[in-house]
Amino acid sequence: MSGPDEMGLTLEAAHGYEQHFVPAIFDQWPPRIIEAARIGRGDSVLEVGCGTGVLAREVIKLVGPDGGVTGLDLSESMLGVARGICPDVDFRQGNAMDLPFDDDSFDAAIASFMLMFVPKPDLAVRELLRVLRPGGRLVIAVWEALDQNPVYAGLVDIATRRIDDAAGSSLAWPFALGNDGRLAEICHSAGVGDVDISAHDGRAKFPSLDDFVRTEIQSWVLADSVDEDCLSAVVSESQERFADYCDAAGGIDFPLNAVFARTKKD
């Protein structure tokens, strides 16, 4: 097993993210984010927090030989997976709060489901604006708050009681910026003038409830930190609590909703 990187992630965790989370959650979002950013042929596009490259590898198909795509992430483990899947994208390691690019470098910039992991999100937005050319488009996507994502809210509750507070907090972390007004507040603090905030309905689809729970706990930030007894207790309670979202074949399909912020650089 590889050691943890700057994000505390191993290469095995990054492969687990690509294998489990991408098809269950993230595959549905690239077309919607691409449309929101109005990306087309010839564009130079930056994705910050690119992970294993699920969005970047779709964007590279659109921009053509006269365009280009740069994917930046703090995690070398994620980037290692991304480079292996799509070598045509320029994947680089770097910090969203201190982008290693000149001013006015890109036609479009995207922060897709990553801003909640940044210690100073307003600084990251300010950096994204800095590297955009005048008229460049910025799209930020985050998950809606837990009160709009009831299955994850339920899982956070179960994990907090069955494991500990830290486990519940880790599962709640991705939803931290989805509260009413929070994303607009961050954008305005970063110097954005007009920003369009919109809610978007999505779904999460896992092969089974057991797969959903174990993926959330074992394939991401809680990997190897939860013993089997605690995990089994979480699975058992989840089977009862989320039964209405399960189909006859054992799969689970439930709402997972997002918020987009869109703006243009003056």
Show the domains of the chain with their CATH numbers: 11-264 (3.40.50.150)
Q: What pLDDT sits at residue 2?
A: 65
Dmax (CA) of the chain: 55
DSSP class of residue 27?
Answer: T
**Considering only CA atoms, which of 99, 77, 96, 111 is closest in space to residue 6?**
77
Decide: 138 and 166 in contact? Cβ < 8 Å: no
Mean pLDDT by 10 residues, the chain (266 residues): 74 89 96 98 98 97 96 96 97 98 98 96 98 98 96 96 90 92 95 94 96 82 72 93 95 97 95
Chain centroid, CA 172 distance in Å: 13
Token output for 119: 């210690």
DSSP class of residue 130?
Answer: H
Decide: 73 and 93 in contact? Cβ < 8 Å: yes
Token output for 91: 């994947």
Q: What pLDDT sits at residue 4?
A: 80
pTM for this prediction: 0.94
Of the chain, the end-to-end C-alpha distance in Å amounts to: 47
Token output for 20: 């489990």
Task: Tell the burial category of 153 from Cβ atoms under 10 Å away from its Cβ (0-12, 13-18, 19+).
Answer: middle
Q: Collapsing DSSP states into helix, strand and coil, what is residue 41?
A: coil
Find the helix or strand (DSSP H, E) in which 258 lies.
Answer: strand 258-264
CA distance 61 to 243: 39
CA distance 37 to 45: 10
Residue with tokens 């999100």: 121
Which residues are 233's β-sheet partners? none
Find the helix or strand (DSSP H, E) in which 254 lies.
Answer: strand 252-255
